[in-house]
Amino acid sequence: MFSPQQTSTAMELLPLLYLLLSCSAGTSADQNGPVIVKEESDAILPCSLSTKKDIESELFDWKKKGQKNKDVFLYNDKAFYGQGLSGQDEQFKGRVSHFPDELKYGNASIIIRNTKASDSGNYTCVFPDLQQSPVLIELVVDRILKDRSAENIPGVSPKPSVKILNQTNDGALLQCEVLGASPKPTVEWQDSAGNKLPAEEPQVSERGGSYDITLLTTVKKADRFHCVATQEEIKHRTETDTYVPLNGAASKPSVTILDQTNDGALLLCEVLGASPESKVKWQDSAGNVLDAKEPQVSERGGSYDITLQTTVTETDRYRCVATQEGIRHLYAEIYVQINGSPKESATGLVVAVVGTFSLL
Ligand SMILES: *[C@@H]1O[C@H](CO)[C@@H](O)[C@H](O)[C@H]1NC(C)=O
Ligand SMILES: *[C@@H]1O[C@H](CO)[C@@H](O)[C@H](O)[C@H]1NC(C)=O
Ligand SMILES: *[C@@H]1O[C@H](CO)[C@@H](O)[C@H](O)[C@H]1NC(C)=O
């Protein structure tokens, strides 16, 4: 018999033992982390024999763990829930399938369609007749946040949801999605000035008279972009905007010494082609903001040229910082030696001080 102390030690070892077993005994979950999906989309829960043994004539059993385990999917020699076998939990009826063509490679993965938040949890995949340890998979189903203002009015299109799908130094692919709108809205992308942007053909799907619309566009400059959904018939308009900060090299400040005497130097900071307009300031190496003249700002076609001058009287490293919409800071530095000539200068880029971009 175990003494109480031995028992507790043995209990502590159990999870470890389980972990070791499931890592070594020939089943694999393809991945270690949880499977994460958005509510209403499909989730594939992976489970395969590393031996790749054909399991068409075998038995495997998927359960969802809980106070009472739920029967998710059972396969036995070509019969399965919905086809020859019964006992599936109501929660999963009609939503779970295996991959028949994959069985011969030892692949017992399943797909759960149209997931709900209540599907979240831990699932086990077991081969009772084989010398295989169970596979444990965690599924996380993220709730979709529904726009509350539209919730009470059936059909009115909810606020579009926008996403940056891909971003490079000179462009970003933006996606706008409007789900469950009726009547059918028109959806368009606009820049901050309200100009309609060229976009790809919208993808439209309809179920029961309500429409899901996805619209992609590629943008080439930093700006605040709006996705606007309009339902003419009911005079309803809703929009979501997103700030896209592209690394326009032109909006990085450049610094020069305009004039230098034995007691001081006149410094110039120039930010050319900033879009949107930047706030520009001079700082010393301790971060103190220096007195400066009024910035000179000129605009051309939505982008701004800004110059800012300051006079310094001490040897130090000075930094000109350009801040775009509080979202990122770009700076350039210059080392100024009073009673001598400048020794070195450096430019740099600080990103994501507040966040690289904001999704509203
Ligand atoms: C098992 O099949 C699923 C569905 O086709 C697939 O996603 C998964 O990658 C397969 N697993 C292996 C190990 O081949
Ligand atoms: C799933 O199992 C893991 C590891 O045992 C545990 O940390 C996690 O809390 C479980 N998740 C749920 C939803 O029960
Ligand atoms: C992102 O864009 C680049 C350049 O156009 C492309 O090479 C890459 O495949 C894209 N990535 C994704 C995930 O679409």
- List, in order of start, the domains of the chain with CATH numbers: 4-147 (2.60.40.10), 150-244 (2.60.40.10), 254-358 (2.60.40.10)
Q: Report the distance separating Cα 290 and Cα 318, nearest Å.
A: 9
From residue 261, alpha-carbon distances to 275, 282, 320, 338, 345 in Å are 35, 20, 21, 8, 19
240 in Cβ contact with 360 (< 8 Å): yes
343, amino acid identity: K
Cα of 166 vs centre of ligand 3, distance in Å, is: 6
Q: Report the distance separating Cα 360 and Cα 357, nearest Å.
A: 10
- Classify 295 as helix, strand or coil: coil
Using the predicted structure, report yes or no on whether residue 5 has a pLDDT greater than 70. Answer: no
Using the predicted structure, report yes or no on whether residue 318 has a pLDDT greater than 60. Answer: yes
Cα of 321 vs centre of ligand 3, distance in Å, is: 31
Sign of CA dihedral 347, 248, 323, 274: positive
* Mean local confidence (pLDDT), 220-236: 84
pLDDT of the residue at 276: 64
Give residue 62's pLDDT band: very low, low, confident or very high (50, 70, 90).
Answer: very high
Q: Which two tokens stand for residue 29?
A: 């979950």
Using the predicted structure, report yes or no on whether residue 16 has a pLDDT greater than 80. Answer: no
Angle at 165 between CA 161 and CA 168, to 5 degrees: 140
Which ligand gives the minimal distance to the CA of 64? 2
Q: pLDDT digit string (tens) for 31-40?
A: 568 898 887 7
Give the position, in ligand 3's atom list, of the atom nearest the Cα of 166: 1
Q: Which two tokens stand for residue 347?
A: 């430019």
- Classify 101 as helix, strand or coil: helix
Q: Report the distance separating Cα 146 and Cα 128, nearest Å.
A: 42
Using the predicted structure, report yes or no on whether residue 206 has a pLDDT greater than 80. Answer: yes
Residue to probe by mutation, ligand 1, list 75, 107, 125, most atoms within 8 Å of CB: 107
pLDDT of the residue at 216: 95
Among 109-118, 146-155, 233-242, name the one with the lowest average pLDDT: 146-155
pTM of the model: 0.42
Q: 107 CB under 6 A from ligand 1?
A: yes
Of 73, 78, 108, nearest to 91 by C-alpha is 73
Give residue 298's pLDDT band: very low, low, confident or very high (50, 70, 90).
Answer: confident
More confident residue, 326 or 140: 140
Residue 347 burial (C-beta neighbours within 10 Å; 0-12, 13-18, 19+): middle
More confident residue, 188 or 101: 188
